[in-house]
Structure 1
Amino acid sequence: MVDAVTPPDQRLSVLYREHRSWLENWLRHRVGNSWDAADLSQDTFLRVLSSAQKLEDLREPRAYLLTVGRRLLSNFYSRRSLEAAYLEALAQLPEECVPSPEQRWLLLETLQALDELLDGLPRLVRRAFLWSQLHGLGYREIAERLDVSERTVKRYMAQAYEHCLLVQL
């Protein structure tokens, strides 16, 4: 049990020893395999280590680990969905246009980084930003597609740019 008398450098170790297998089993039931569950479990503890949450203040360590684990699980499924959509798009390309495995990996990494950068934006703001940046659509075209005013699109774009700048700080 993690408590206030445990030295700070040992608190995470105790938390890890007492709860890792439990968390990994919980994750394994959600992702369906041991490898991804182990990775997500390790990522959870890394997040705990880098978080501002003081371990001695944790009253319910499993609830906290579940919260962090659920967020990572959500990111995992989002990444998997993004990867599937990318691979499906690649399958539609003529063979001479298909990127090499190295290029695929770089493109997928870039897509994941972009997805993480835009995480947290409302759906319409995100969509407006992507249409503008990836498809080169103007504000009028975006407004028509979203069925909103151009002024709203300008507000969405300002919100997206501000979000990107703050995330990078």
Structure 2
Amino acid sequence: MVAIAVPLRAQPAPPDRPERERPVGTPQAVGAVHTLRQIPEACTRLEGEFTGQAAQPYRLRAVPAAVSCQPRARYLDAAQARPSAAAGWVLNDVIRVPDAACPSRQAVVRVWRQPAAGPAPARDGQGQARIYLEQARQQAAAGDIAALPRFSAQLATEGPACPP
């Protein structure tokens, strides 16, 4: 009997499971600003902070990563983007951060990714998708610019409210 090895192909994650798996984060104190995630394609860093306020217990901000960064994707506010699996967005990451003063309460940030529309760029002999400056200039002059992938993040707070 001969066994044939079949290479495993990357299967897309189910819509309710994120593409990236990560453990629950380190508990954070009220007022301590912390980085949740870098999104290098969009030149964006997600920062969070527990506020200690009942109306808005956690604050999420998208901060530009560097002024010299050239984005290959766009970051959109969740209210504007309204990400969902039904709208073609893919759940990319779920970040859970417990409150140090109240461990039963967690900030939950869901990072969504919407792939660029259209065909993927052609790959060269080394398997790399390369974009050459002169070709990109010609495509831009002709108005043939591909849509960029997009990212967005939704914030939720889970767990019971803790006494002050």
TM-score computed with the length of structure 1 as normaliser: 0.21
Relative contact order: is structure 1 or structure 2 higher (C-alpha 8 Å, sep ≥ 6)? 2
- Greater fraction strand: 2
TM-score computed with the length of structure 2 as normaliser: 0.22
